[in-house]
Amino acid sequence: MSEMLTIDSLEAGYGEIQVLHGVDLSVEKGEIVALIGSNGAGKTTTLRAVSGIIPATAGTITYDGGDITDADTEDIVDRGLVQVPESRELFGDLSVRENLLLGAQRASAVDGRDAMLDRVYELFPRLEEREEQAAETMSGGEQQMLAIGRALMGDPDLLVLDEPTEGLAPKLVQDVFDAIREIHAEGMTVFLVEQNVKQTLSLADRGYVMENGRTTLSGTGEELLEADEVIEAYLGA
């Protein structure tokens, strides 16, 4: 496998508040890589810096062999890195179908748009059932499915997911994890931030633990599940 995303000594924050203090991690092509940590550890800030939403103040971000540290979000998406933000950022007054079609903005996504729409409906049948329904009238779980589906419409090479199961009922949590597993089985590379530590590390090839804006521990998903620090902090002693 070859490295798709490399973050080296990344620092970033908001105004004068520094959140990241030298983050180091990598994602190889074909992997699911998880980033776990407590609230406020810097996970979402890391993803925002990777996607160009906030600027890096130090360090480098390399994607698919190119430096994207100072690239804007549109360019990063065009290169094939697509993020599903924690807030979902749907167009509430537009229908499910309209939201999905708006995801197919990348040049490589346009020609295969209809086929990908069919694939998204296969992954999330509920979206097809509600394709004419306004996004703002859907349940939280349905909106999360729509956000993931819209990202897939962009034909990503790396799918970045920020807390995709937050606030969902247990059945819908399982549906989202099943969809991630199926997408990955088809060859998608996934970088996942998630609070559901046990299921996430069980799914991930590798993972990183973040504390106070730094990556402090890394290993395979299985190794991290068995690490004393992870058990004590996230899984119960």
End position of a domain, from candidates 132, 155, 178? 155
Give pLDDT, residue 150.
93
Q: Is residue 85 part of a domain?
A: no
Two structure tokens written together for 115 = 């086929």
Give pLDDT, residue 8.
98
End position of a domain, from candidates 103, 137, 155? 155
Q: Is residue 86 part of a domain?
A: no
What's the total number of domains in the chain?
Answer: 2
70 and 165 assigned to the same domain: yes
Query: What DSSP character marks residue 49?
Result: H
59 and 149 assigned to the same domain: no
Percent with pLDDT over 70 in the chain: 99
Bridge-based pairing of strands 81-84 and 32-36 is: unpaired
Residue 106 identity (one-letter amino acid): R
Give pLDDT, residue 91.
86
End position of a domain, from candidates 103, 132, 155? 155
Low-confidence ranges of the chain (pLDDT < 50): none
144 and 29 assigned to the same domain: no
Percent with pLDDT over 90 in the chain: 74
163 and 150 assigned to the same domain: no
What is the rounded radius of gyration, in angstroms, for the C-alpha atoms of the chain? 17
Query: What DSSP character marks residue 231?
Result: I
CATH code of the domain covering residue 167: 3.40.50.300
The parent domain of residue 168 ranges over 3-80+157-235
150 and 175 assigned to the same domain: no
Q: What contacts 194, CB < 8 A, 6 or more positions away?
A: 34, 36, 161, 163, 164, 165, 200
Give pLDDT, residue 107.
74
71 and 101 assigned to the same domain: no
Q: What contacts 215, CB < 8 A, 6 or more positions away?
A: 23, 24, 25, 35, 208, 209
| Exposure on the CB side of residue 36, measured as CA atoms within 13 A | 30
Beta pairing partners, 189: 158
- The angle at the Cα of 85, spanning 80 to 91, to the nearest 5 degrees, equals 95
Two structure tokens written together for 75 = 């360019």
The tens digit of pLDDT for each residue in 140-188 reads 888 999 999 999 998 899 999 999 998 888 888 888 899 999 999 999 9
Are the C-beta atoms of residues 155 and 109 closer than 8 Å to each other? yes
172 and 142 assigned to the same domain: no
Give pLDDT, residue 167.
83
Give pLDDT, residue 110.
77
User: What is the rounded distance in angstroms from the CA atom of residue 197 to the CA atom of residue 221?
Assistant: 10
Cβ neighbours of 11 (radius 10 Å): 16
User: Please, what is the end-to-end C-alpha distance for the chain in angstroms?
Assistant: 35
Cβ neighbours of 29 (radius 10 Å): 14
Q: Is residue 89 part of a domain?
A: no
Cβ neighbours of 88 (radius 10 Å): 18
16 and 57 assigned to the same domain: yes
Nearest Cα residue to 145 out of 115, 112, 122, 114 = 122
166 and 184 assigned to the same domain: yes
User: What is the rounded distance in angstroms from the CA atom of residue 55 to the CA atom of residue 189?
Assistant: 24
Q: Is residue 61 part of a domain?
A: yes
Buried b (16+ CB within 10 A) or exposed e, 42-55: bbbbbbbbbbbbbe
Average pLDDT in the chain: 92
62 and 98 assigned to the same domain: no
